């Protein structure tokens, strides 16, 4: 089992358009959470000062920009993340794109996005794929590992077959974490979801959580409860 502290198991998704608001959430939570995700929306709104503020407070950053372009452009984009203190960066693409991304990443971890958690089987069919989501995730994850990625982003539902098929020597980061899983009360754009405890039992190293915390009446209490779930999940492996 990887030596990851409990306060780094949750990666809080700073899915906000306002950099000041994002900074307030970092201050509110970083006594309990030490890992934060910066996505396209926030990075375009606030740029590097947002990232620097998180890191300067002693936290880690996952840059979830999902680089997908011609290989040389991806290569140059990853270079822009070097020496910035970024811990994780996400990419998406085929062999040349992945090879370009991992070429000189230094100590930053490169995570390959497999299949977005907003996709389900009906989306796969609409795009012309004949296999299942799980099959495609496994194919893409295996290729990413062969090409030198440090880990993958997938739903918790695929974490278990990935561990069974590919072993433990890579990172699995799972978004789509929802407490309770009452879909009538929790309608959003995520389709392949699971609880934090189940994600960890299935083999996830980190869980990405945003709205269940940010929309909670007591965010800190929610974080503590989720960490308790994760601790139980670790015991259940």
List, in sequence order, the alpha helices (H) in the chain: 19-29, 40-46, 48-56, 71-79, 95-102, 121-126, 133-146, 156-166, 196-202, 211-214, 219-235
Site of tokens 């959580």: 209
Element (H, E) at 13: strand 10-13
Given 66, 125, 143, 191, the catalytic residue: 66
- Residue 37 is a catalytic residue: no
Contact call for residues 47 and 23 (beta carbons, < 8 A) = no
Between helix 48-56 and helix 19-29 the angle, nearest 10°, is 10
Element (H, E) at 152: strand 151-153
Report the catalytic residues: 66
């Amino acid at each position: 089992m990887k030596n990851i502290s409990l306060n780094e198991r949750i990666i809080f998704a700073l899915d906000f358009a306002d950099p000041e608001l994002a900074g307030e959430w970092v201050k509110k939570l970083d006594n309990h959470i030490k890992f934060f995700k910066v996505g396209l929306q926030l990075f375009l709104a606030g740029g590097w000062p947002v990232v620097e503020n998180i890191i300067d407070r002693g936290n880690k950053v996952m840059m979830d920009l999902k680089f997908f372009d011609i290989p040389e452009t991806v290569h140059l984009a990853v270079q822009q993340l070097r020496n910035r203190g970024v811990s994780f960066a996400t990419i998406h693409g085929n062999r040349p794109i992945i090879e370009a991304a991992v070429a000189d990443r230094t100590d930053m971890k490169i995570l390959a996005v497999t299949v977005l958690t907003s996709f389900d089987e009906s989306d796969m069919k609409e795009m012309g794929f004949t296999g299942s989501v799980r099959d495609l995730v496994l194919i893409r994850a295996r290729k990413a590992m062969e090409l030198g990625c440090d880990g993958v982003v997938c739903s918790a539902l695929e974490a278990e077959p990935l561990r069974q098929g590919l072993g433990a020597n890579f990172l699995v980061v799972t978004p789509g974490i929802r407490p309770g899983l009452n879909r009538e009360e929790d309608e959003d754009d995520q389709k392949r979801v699971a609880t934090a405890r189940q994600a960890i039992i299935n083999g996830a190293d980190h869980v990405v959580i945003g709205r269940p915390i940010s929309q909670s009446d007591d965010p800190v209490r929610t974080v503590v409860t989720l960490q308790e779930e994760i601790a139980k999940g670790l015991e259940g492996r």
